[in-house]
Chains A and B, each alone.
Chain A
Amino acid sequence: MSTRSALALAIAFAGAATLAAQSPRFGVGRPPTPDEVRGLGAAIAPDGGGLPEGSGTVAEGRTLYAARCASCHGPNGEGGGVGAALVGGKGTLATARPLKTVGSFWPHATTVWDYVNRAMPFNQPGLLKPEEVYAVVAYILNLNGIIAEDVVMNASTLPTVKMPNRDGFVADPRPDVGLTNPRKPKP
């Protein structure tokens, strides 16, 4: 081995040693601020994880609903030209005309809280205070006969609400069609 190639090899090894000593991480970013974690990704888990303090009653929700929700979802949650029906549909899921509402279809009350909080009212999403969200969710659950008039919704009570269609969901079994020798498609 010539001196020159030995030197090249030594340099190559030195380079490899330097690379190996480097962290495998890129070191990008900084720790998020508490505001960033609160403001971005404030999702609510089915077990209630992420629910804020505060509480709301059915009566408070009734007033709020009339002011902020009824114009789209109808005076009694029956749905309107813009907003979906929030009540009704019980017993329709296995019929030719299923009506999928909070009462007939939604499996978790926490989802109602999470969705109202992030997306409602449609034209001003994200402006309701936690107490207002608890109240309007309480009212919608009460409209569906799921909770009584005097039940208060908060971070402890909401996750314990048993939704009527809690067990109405199944895992994806596909491929269920199209695996072998399909029937000849007919127009």
Chain B
Amino acid sequence: MLGGGFLAQRQKLLAWDTPGKLGAPLGPYGERSPFEKAVRWHRDSKTPETGSCFTPLQASVGTITPSSLHYERHHSGIPTIDPSQHRLVIHGMVDRPISLTMAEIQRLPSITRTLVLECGGNSAGEWAARTGPDVQRSYGLVSCSEWTGVPLATLLAEVGVQRTASWVIAEGADACRMERSVPLSKALENSLLAYGQNGEMIRPSQGYPLRLINPGWEGNTNVKWLHSLKLTNQPYMARDETSKYSDLMPDGKARIFTYQMEAKSVITFPSGGQTLPGIGLYELSGLAWSGKGKIERVEITIDGGRSWVAAQLQEPRLPIALTRFRMPWRFDGREAVIASRAIDETGYVQPSREDLVAARGGNSIYHFNGTKFWRVQADGTVTNVDA
């Protein structure tokens, strides 16, 4: 009478529990729970090989973005590259041009850095106040990973950069061979030839097997599927640094080589599309980052910007990385208009949308880093304040 013995003592407490039934067997590569549904969002496109998809920041916890939820921006699809067939060529104004295999690159001394990566066009819709209804669609072209690779300076020393060189033209192996011009000073300062992301090889959608990482600079300069670095004495004025990724000002002139990402933050809970289940104490939370260093302070308003108080910052605060901020907040059933603003270690204060538009007009497209307001309504639903 087995059923009358041990199993009878195991009470079925929860709906999922089936006394006497084993769990799933072990697997070779982990997947998240089937109950977790957060996915990236992207617009329908007639050319699905180009476009962008947005990280579900509203579902994020901590500061690292899972590789599978990292934002993407592609121009001609994701190439399938066999790393044993991949090469990086460093040529142009160098004494000893070289062609390297991945094995040779991975043999070199490596470093690991946690870095935020943000598309230069993140929050582009906010310039005109035409915004997505939630944090994913309005601020979701930002993600944070641990990147591992070889400092580019190591390989530049290896090839011997000639005195006349001042720029590096980086090119990827995607179908359109996307290229960007990077000043040699940046390459020598802290550019990374990354092959690792979050403890494993970079995902194909993030540049497998090799990606140029330019810490703190707009995502597009972080060339994926890197296969060529050409040392030159001039920028090449590529399509993606002239026609695109330049910032048009009200006088009709466009700012060029606007690489630097400035301090920015956004509240992820409560944020647009979410609903507070009732009156009570909550933990308001969000993410702050700066391309120029550490986040020094994050301030929060719950009264539409009339007063600001400092939030708690999750330690350790890493330079050029997502920093989680938090503040206990009692929702009393009255409408609240909430926002955050970040201050980085250079003293730079995240500006308002109004200040940005006053300085740059509405045609800039890129580098919107204004404060983001959410309206928590009396019934607990949260909307975009411009909705």
Contact = CB atoms under 8 A, between A and B. Distances in A.
Nearest to B108: A26
10 contacts: A28-B98, A28-B158, A107-B242, A115-B238, A119-B76, A169-B253, A174-B260, A177-B355, A185-B352, A186-B305
A174 B236 contact: no
A106 B243 contact: yes
Given A43-B179, A96-B362, A182 B171 contact: no
A66 to B, nearest CB: 21
B119 interface: no
Contacts of A82: 46-47
A171 interface: yes
Contacts of A114: 179, 236, 238-239
Interface in B164-193: 169, 171, 173, 175-179
A110 B239 CA distance: 10
A47 interface: yes
A31 B98 contact: yes
Contacts of A115: 238-239, 243
Contacts of B232: 45, 49
Nearest to B98: A29
Rank and list the top 4 A-B pairs by shortest CB-CB distance, nearest first.
Answer: A41-B228, A185-B352, A94-B252, A29-B98
A28 B106 CA distance: 11
B157 interface: yes
B176 A118 contact: yes
Interface of A: 24-26, 28-33, 36-37, 40-41, 43-47, 49, 81-82, 93-94, 96, 98, 100, 105-108, 110-111, 114-115, 118-119, 122, 125-126, 168-187
A185 B258 CA distance: 24
Contacts of B112: none
Contact of A107 (B237, B360, B371, B375): B237
Given A32-B98, A40-B89, A94-B251, 9 more contacts: A31-B98, A33-B99, A41-B91, A82-B47, A118-B176, A118-B177, A171-B256, A171-B257, A185-B301
B283 interface: no
A24 B246 CA distance: 40
A43 B236 contact: yes
Nearest to B227: A40
Contact of B87 (A40, A81, A171): A40
A178 B262 contact: yes
B360 A176 contact: yes
Contact of A185 (B99, B105, B250, B353): B353
A171 B97 contact: no
Contacts of B251: 94
A46 B237 contact: yes
B32 interface: no
B62 interface: no
Interface in B66-115: 75-76, 87, 89-92, 96-101, 104-105, 107-108
B337 A179 contact: no
A36 B89 contact: yes
A119 B248 contact: no
Contacts of B257: 171-172
A93 B76 CA distance: 28
A115 B251 CA distance: 27
A185 B305 contact: yes
Interface stretch (B140-148, B200-208, B343-351): B343-351
Nearest to A107: B242
B344 to A, nearest CB: 10
A41 B258 contact: no
B334 interface: no
A28 B76 contact: no
B363 interface: yes
A141 B73 CA distance: 29
B359 interface: yes
A32 B104 CA distance: 14
B304 interface: yes
